[in-house]
């Protein structure tokens, strides 16, 4: 066995890393989702929603896919790129439902989405030199963030 092979993590270590990242990213989703309760959804439904607002179930489906893509992206850059902006964009994904649903702050939601988009762009920029695939896996979240900004903006200008 060469030194190069000895320095490569085993398939078991890689699997544990992937599992760890999947758990962490999905924990963020779980915490964020805990702020979206039936009574808070009832408040949301009283708002002047855009005609382009998807049905409630679609938000869950989209976020499940986005969290999975985020986890794979982070896995591909493990120990190769700084996780700082990735962590910050994850934090904003928890902060948005807290501000929007729990505190009923539409303007707070707009500002958090803007911050998330900045942190996400910085994450993509940081990941791109290490793994183009990791960077491209975050593009759907960026596009969804732009759509969310539109939806929140409609509510703000009402």
Q: Is residue 112 part of a domain?
A: yes
Q: What CATH number is attached to the domain comprising 126?
A: 1.20.1260.100
**Domain housing 76:** 9-157
Residue 30 Cα distances to 23, 69, 157, angstroms = 10, 16, 30
- CA–CA separation, 158 vs 154, rounded Å? 6
Q: Is residue 1 part of a domain?
A: no
Q: What tokens does 115 get?
A: 């911050």
- Residue 9: the pLDDT is 83
For residue range 94-141, list pLDDT tens digits in order: 999 999 999 999 999 999 999 999 999 999 999 999 999 999 999 999
Count of domains observed in the chain? 1
Query: By C-alpha distance, which of 112, 111, 119 is closest to 142?
Result: 119
Q: Is residue 3 part of a domain?
A: no
For residue range 15-64, list pLDDT tens digits in order: 999 999 999 999 999 999 999 999 999 999 999 999 999 999 999 999 99
Q: Global pTM?
A: 0.91
Cβ-proximal residues to 103 (8 Å cutoff; 6+ apart), any chain:
none
Q: Is residue 32 part of a domain?
A: yes
- Residue 1: the pLDDT is 46
Q: Is residue 2 part of a domain?
A: no
- CA–CA separation, 108 vs 156, rounded Å? 10
H-only helix segments in 34-138: 38-45, 56-76, 84-97, 106-127, 132-137
């Amino acid at each position: 066995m060469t030194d190069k092979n000895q320095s490569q993590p085993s398939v078991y270590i890689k699997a544990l890393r992937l599992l760890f990242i999947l758990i962490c990213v999905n924990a963020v989703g779980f915490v964020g989702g805990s702020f979206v309760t039936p009574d808070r959804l009832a408040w949301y439904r009283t708002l002047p929603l855009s005609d382009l607002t998807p049905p409630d179930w679609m938000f869950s489906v989209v976020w499940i896919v986005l969290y999975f893509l985020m986890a794979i992206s982070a896995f591909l850059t493990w120990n190769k790129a700084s996780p700082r902006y990735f962590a910050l964009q994850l934090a904003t994904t928890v902060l948005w439902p807290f501000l929007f649903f729990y505190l009923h702050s539409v303007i707070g939601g707009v500002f958090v989405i803007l911050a998330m988009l900045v942190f996400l762009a910085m994450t993509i920029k940081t990941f791109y030199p290490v793994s183009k695939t990791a960077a491209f896996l975050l593009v759907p979240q960026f596009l969804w963030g732009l759509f969310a900004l539109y939806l929140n903006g409609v509510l703000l200008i009402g």
